[in-house]
Amino acid sequence: MPSTLHPLTSLTAAACTAVITTAAGFWPLSLAVALAAAVLAGRAGVGRRVIAAAAAVLLPLGLSLLMLHGLFFPEGRTVLAAWGPARVTAEGLAFALESGTRTGSCVLVLLLFSFTVSAPDLVAALAARGLPPQFGFVLASALTLLPAMAGRLEAIRAAQEARGLVVGGGVVSRLVAVRMQMVPLVLGLIEDSGSRAQALDARGFGSPGPRTAYRVLADPPVQRRCRAVLLVLAGAAVALRLAVSWPAAGLL
């Protein structure tokens, strides 16, 4: 997402793209969106960071989807292989592929937004729209924490391996290692969020009263119209998805 975009335009584009991709539920579209996000990240100079952060999130998720749906999909009929209660079915693999690509595209789009948007500009844009400053600062703090996830996860993994954690080639060993790495990562992010919240509160950001904005952002009419179009498209995609799924579920 180019830096010339207004922060609200970037936010709207990322959110609406995720909504439309989820509502479509079509894996070629999800794959195209993921590839487009990766290309845009590369052009913005944050490709390696976005891919590293996405891999930290998507690899454990993709593995769990493959195990749950690829091996134990209850609606699977076309059995490709079987080992006792575990059955590899074409329907299960298709469901895992659709879920994985859909989630991957959403993660890449949101990571692209978080790595390219200016947090001060986003806070100023939200405050200019009348939103509470606390909302903008919480969102900006979350965005600044996301880029550090990949590096922190690598440091946690190196520290645990130095303490004797052995990651074997088996699936169970890797799942145990992922769990042991995710717990300190999440706890560390929660601690950082609490420290930032205390620092903001100590500086009076939670105090009531009038505020003066020193950062003025240009919001061209073209971008405002683009945001409106994106919101309409996202709403139409959700409505179409509901209209298609309700008769199939016997609700109409």
139-175 confidence digits (pLDDT tens): 666 665 555 565 566 677 667 666 666 554 455 555 6
Cα separation, 50 vs 44, in Å, equals: 11
- Closest-CA residue to 50 (of 64, 65, 62, 38): 38
- Reduced to 3 states (helix: H, G, I; strand: E, B; else coil), residue 81 is strand
128-139 confidence digits (pLDDT tens): 777 665 566 666
Q: What is the pTM of this model?
A: 0.71
How far the first Cα of the chain sits from its last, in Å, is 41
178-228 confidence digits (pLDDT tens): 667 677 777 776 776 667 667 666 666 666 666 666 777 888 999 999 999
Instruction: Name residue, tokens 């919001």.
Output: 219
- Reduced to 3 states (helix: H, G, I; strand: E, B; else coil), residue 71 is helix
